[in-house]
Amino acid sequence: MRHRRVHDVMTPAVVCAPPAARGPELARLLADNHVRALPVVSDGRPVGMVTEGDLMRGSSRPAVPGGRPALPGPGTATAEQLMSTPAVVARPDWSIVQAARVMRRHGVKRLPVVDAEGLVTGIVSRGDLLRVFLRRDHAIETEIIQDVLTGTLGLPPATVSADVHRGRVTLRGTIDRRSMVPVVERLCRGVDGVVAVANHLEYTRDDTDAASPAAR
């Protein structure tokens, strides 16, 4: 069983913009590549993100206290002037849950993915992550039965059943030891697409009781 990582779902071919790119060039990059945001990259490293919204509001941002002028119009503003910074990034080996949490914390919809040297290797969007969690119930059920129950735990196929409905797993059956009940549940929760686990497992031996012969 292998949990999905950012590397598994990211788009490796990244359309980037240099800091000096101006409005028309940015708009063309967005339109030609059917994307809504571009990492702004300097020397291969992301320094910010520029979105369709940034271009639209480029000429409407008012001057701020302290004398800073409003940005120039979208025809003359550069990516460096329009972008949000610093860039919020992800690592290829992050779990998709970790990436989703970072997106939520920073209020962003996509993350440039960088390697150990900080160079852009891909981009992952909220949609990429959602597709993992929207797996079909049958695919989730098959992975639980084949990879978790049979492959990892070595349980006979008829020992435990796993019914999946809208990502919610219901476990029923009897296993040998009580200590394994939470282990089965934890492994099922780790399967991509699982949103909840209802554990109705029973056991034949209580090996958690220090007074029982099985625990000695």
10-34 b/e with 16+ CB inside 10 Å = b?
beeebebbebebbbeebeebbeeee
pTM: 0.62
Q: Report the CATH number of the 137-215 domain.
A: 3.30.1340.30
Q: What is the pLDDT of residues 80-96, one digit of tens each?
A: 999 999 999 999 999 88
Tell me the pLDDT tens digit for each residue of 101-147.
999 999 999 999 999 999 999 999 998 988 877 788 998 999 999 99
pLDDT tens sequence across 155-199: 988 899 999 998 899 999 999 999 999 999 999 988 888 888 999
Predicted confidence band of residue 97 (pLDDT cuts 50, 70, 90): confident
Q: Report the C-alpha gap between 118 and 42 in whole angstroms.
A: 11
Q: Considering the domain 6-133, what is its CATH architecture?
A: Roll (3.10)
Q: Is 72 helix (H, G, I), strand (E, B) or coil?
A: coil
Q: What pLDDT is recorded for position 129?
A: 87
Domain ranges of the chain: 6-133, 137-215
- pLDDT tens digits for 190-215? 888 888 899 999 999 999 875 455 44
